[in-house]
């Protein structure tokens, strides 16, 4: 399991764009399960009463980034890397999570081609599946520079 502090050692994302709170399960380089809680203090609840679907995609991508980042860090703890959100395929939204819900974010690497990784991604609230599809990340280990 990974807490927020450890997540922040892998992802460069910070407030107000760090959209995963905890990692409950992880198999570096393969799959991961993340948790995002929704409470009333979050900035997007001014304009909506639900978690915006595009941010759901971002949350999944961040869990994907952690899955790939932990793999690189396993080999060398100081390794740097750059991960970028490259795309989304065939992603359906059944409903949006609302205030007070805990979102479970599941991702699993389906295939990788050069620096491009395709993940199967699913979103659950309780036992209910509320969305799913594929996300694409571009991810590269670098000699130096910041991890992104």
Partner 1 sequence: MIDRVEKLEKDKNIKTVKWVTANEFYLAGHFPGDPIMPGVLTLEGMVQSALVLLDESLSRGRLRASLKKVDRVRFKRAITPGDRVEFLVSLTAREEACWRFKGKAQVSGETAAEADILLQVDLREVGFEL
Q: Which of 12, 130, 1, 5 is nearest to 82 (CA)?
A: 12
Q: Considering the complex, state which of residue 85 and residue 124 has its C-beta at the smaller distance from partner 1.
A: 85
50 contacts 130 by C-beta, under 8 angstroms:
no
Residue matched to tokens 């100081």: 78
User: What is the token pair recorded at 137?
Assistant: 């990340």
Interaction of residue 47 with partner 1, rule CB under 8 A: no
Assigned token pair, 144: 């130096």
As a whole number of angstroms, the distance between CA 59 and CA 29 comes to 17
Choose between 10 and 96: whose C-beta lies nearer to partner 1.
96
Q: Which of 55, 79, 116, 141 binds partner 1 (CB under 8 A)?
A: 55
By the rule CB under 8 A, 103 interacts with partner 1? no
3-state DSSP call for residue 121?
strand
18 is a contact residue toward partner 1 (CB under 8 A) = yes
Q: Does 39 bind partner 1 (CB under 8 A)?
A: no
What is the nearest approach in angstroms of partner 1 to the Cβ of residue 42?
A: 12
Using the 8-state DSSP alphabet, how is residue 43 labeled?
G
Q: Which residues bind partner 1 (CB under 8 A)?
A: 12-18, 43, 52-55, 57-58, 61, 84-93, 96, 133, 146, 148
Residues annotated as catalytic (active site), given as ranges: 48
């Amino acid at each position: 399991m990974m807490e927020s502090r450890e997540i922040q050692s892998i992802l460069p994302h910070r407030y107000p764009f760090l959209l995963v709170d905890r990692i409950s399960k992880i198999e570096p380089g393969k799959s991961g399960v993340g948790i995002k809680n929704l409470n009333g203090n979050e900035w997007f609840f001014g304009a909506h009463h639900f978690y915006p679907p595009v941010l759901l995609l971002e949350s999944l991508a961040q869990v994907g980034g952690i899955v790939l980042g932990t793999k690189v860090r396993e080999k060398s703890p100081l390794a740097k890397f750059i991960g970028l959100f490259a795309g989304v395929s065939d992603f359906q939204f059944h409903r949006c999570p609302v205030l007070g819900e805990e979102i479970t974010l599941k991702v699993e690497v389906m295939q990788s081609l050069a620096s491009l990784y395709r993940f199967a991604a699913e979103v659950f609230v309780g036992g209910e599946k509320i969305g799913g599809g594929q996300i694409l990340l571009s991810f590269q280990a670098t000699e130096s520079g910041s991890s992104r």
